[in-house]
Structure formats: structure tokens, C-alpha cells
Amino acid sequence: MIIDIHAHLMKYEHYLTPQAKAFAEQMAKTFGVTPEEYFGDADKIIKDMNEGGVDIAVVHGVDFERTQGLYQSPEDLANEVKKYPDRLIGFWAPDPFRTTPYEAAQRLEYAVKELGMKGCGEFGPPYCHFYANDERVFPIYEKCIELDIPILIHNNWTPEPTVPLKYAWPVWLDDVAMRFPKLKIILAHFGGPWVTEAAYMAMKHKNMYVDFAGWGPNMVAPTSLYTTLLKFRSLMGTSERILGVGTDYPLCKFKSCVDVIKSFPEIAEKRGLPKLSDKEITGILGDNAAKLLKLQ
């Protein structure tokens, strides 16, 4: 089973404000995708998943309206997921400061219990301008533990000029993981420019997983992805908490990302690098995510 842990449904109606339109244009330009490739609904993502050989995608709804003008309601995301319940899994994350963190936690509970969301994501400290270790947002983490759901947190650079990168530093998650050892944290994007810090966070905290969303071949050379993945595997002592397939869809394509992972043995052979076992590759392609999501 091939599972993409980190994808999005970018529907045009989510980008009607001038700020949101500028957000979409900057993202599409940076990743080299057309507006036709960027925007779409459940039907479109399923078509692209079929072409790429992906069985299941976790689609993340975002609440960045307060700072970026961009909002996808949990109701809208749930309606899209319901079209293909065997292929799509919904995560949704509130902005803790749209109202109050307590009310945001209640909104998350509603999304999970009433709408069928299976996780909190993409939680966006840099997009919403707060530190992940700000104690005011701890009600969100407490609610995730109560609901027994994982939380995927954005830790990466972004081309958006209105997003302060100081909020994306993975080390802020150190306090969170220590305070909440039962919280299942997915540190997204390999931590972006802070891969070393992210790898040491994942080494230290056994409740921390990592994904490499946005590391598709349109952005990162496959050899660079592989050597970075080996660094995480070496420090973590396992590949079982590394989650694929790396699209951050629609920013990278399913097929190209899956093909890169399947090419890891060839990359290792050509470059004289340590090899991943078939079991490890299968895990990164989907088995690791399936265990986290309780699909097996």
C-alpha cells in the first residue's frame, strides 16, 4: 500500500481574497506548477493518485485566514473526503488565535468527532505567526492526546514573503515533545533548511515522526533526498518513523515522488551509499503511515 501522508486539496474558492491569490501564485511559481495543476477537488486528486500509483492520500485542511487570507473549513474538507472514503483521509488544523486556543481545540474536536477527521494538520505556526512551544496553544496538543490523533506541524522555509521563518524552527518542538510525550508529532518537510536540527529532534523524541513533503524532484535532486533520508535514519536508529511519499500535493506530483523512492536502490548502487532494505522502502512508501494511522 502506498500512502502520501501530506497532501492538500487546493480548491479555487479558497483563494478569493487578494492575499490568498498572491499566496497561490507564489507557491505555484516556486514549485513550477500551473494554475490548472494547483487548483482542484477530490476528483482531480484521485485522478492524479491513480496515475501515480498512490492508494491513499492524507489531505490537510488549513486555517490561515487571519494572517494569509486562506481558509478551508473542516466541513468543506469532509465533504470532499466523503466522495472517496477509501482513498482520502482528512486532517484539519485550526488557527489557535482566530478566537482562543480553547475554542480552537473544541473546533478540532468537532472536526474529528462529527466530521471524521483523523488528525490535526497542517498545523501552521509560521503561517499563523506563533511559536509551536507557546504555552497558550497547548490546549491543541492536549486535545490531540485526548482524541488519540497525530498532529502534523509545518517546519520549513516558505516562499511567502508574509510568513516569518523564525516560527518554523524545528527546535521549538523540543519543548512540545518533552511536555507531551504521548503526543504523536509529525515534523513536516524534514525541517526544511534545518534538517540537522530536525533529525536530532526525531532522534531524541520517540513520539516524533518526520515527512519529506515538498522534496519532490521538481525541487530537490533525488540523490540529495536520499542522502538526507539516510541522515535521519542514522540518527533516529530506524526508518519506521519516516513517512512518504513527499508530494505536498499539488506542489509535487505523485508519480515522480513514488518513482524517486523506488529508485533508492539504484541511487545507492551508483553513489556507493548505504542501502535501504526492501522492507524499509515499503515502510516509507506507506506501511509506516499505515501503522500510525491505524490502518494495519
Q: What is the pLDDT of residue 296?
A: 80
Region 156-170: mean pLDDT is 95
Going by pLDDT thresholds of 50, 70 and 90, the confidence category of residue 105 is very high
Query: pLDDT tens digits for 8-54?
Result: 999 999 898 999 999 999 999 999 999 889 999 999 999 999 999 99
pLDDT recorded at residue 42 = 98
- Tell me the β-bridge partners of 186: 152, 209
Rounded mean pLDDT, 63-87: 97
pLDDT exceeds cutoff 90 at 256: yes
What average pLDDT does the chain have?
A: 97
Whole-structure pTM value:
0.98
Query: What pLDDT does residue 35 have?
Result: 86
**Per-residue pLDDT tens digits for 116-147:** 999 999 999 999 999 999 999 999 999 999 99
Write out 130-163 in H/E/C secondary structure.
CCCCCHHHHHHHHHHHHHCCCEEECCCCCCCCCC
Average pLDDT over residues 254-277: 98
**Average pLDDT of the residues in 264-289:** 98
Residues 6+ positions from 28 with CB-CB distance below 8 Å? 34, 35, 37, 38
Give the model confidence (pLDDT) of 195-252 as tens digits: 999 999 999 999 999 999 999 999 999 999 999 999 999 999 999 999 999 999 999 9
**Average pLDDT in the 81-107 region?**
98
Architecture of domain 3-292: Alpha-Beta Barrel (3.20)
- Give pLDDT, residue 205: 98
